[in-house]
């Protein structure tokens, strides 16, 4: 039975929180720990980047969320919302602004 990321104890960290604008795409490495187990990006979860708005940059999709077509653009300066969707043995989602 899949573990719900929405209900579990989640620790969430980023490799960096500020980037120098260089016109290229820049994303931090996202580390997710669920109930003391470090999860594997691409196997246990996927990471989506939203545009930093509290609504309108992502929509519910089953047990997770999906970003709109422009929301994942990490080439423009500004705050982003990080969305984590469970995969396989993990379900649900959580976000961090």
**What long-range pairs does 56-65 form, CB within 8 A, spacing at least 24?**
57/81, 58/83, 58/95, 63/91, 63/92, 63/93, 64/91, 64/92, 64/93, 65/93, 65/95
What are the tens digits of pLDDT across the range 42-93? 999 998 887 755 433 344 444 444 444 445 566 666 777 888 899 999 999 8
Domain ranges (residues) in the chain: 3-96
At residue 48, the pLDDT reads: 86
d(CA 29, CA 13): 8
Q: Is the full-model pTM beyond 0.75?
A: no
pLDDT over threshold 80, residue 24 = no
At residue 81, the pLDDT reads: 83
d(CA 85, CA 82): 10
């Amino acid at each position: 039975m899949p573990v719900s990321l929405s209900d579990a104890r989640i620790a969430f960290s980023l490799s960096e929180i500020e980037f120098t604008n260089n016109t290229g795409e820049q994303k931090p490495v996202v580390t997710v720990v669920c109930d003391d187990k470090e999860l594997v990006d691409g196997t246990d979860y996927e990471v989506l980047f939203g545009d930093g708005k509290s609504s309108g940059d992502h929509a519910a999709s089953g047990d997770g969320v999906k970003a709109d077509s422009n929301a994942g653009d990490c080439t423009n300066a500004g705050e982003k919302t990080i969305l984590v969707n469970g995969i396989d043995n993990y379900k649900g989602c959580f976000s961090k602004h």
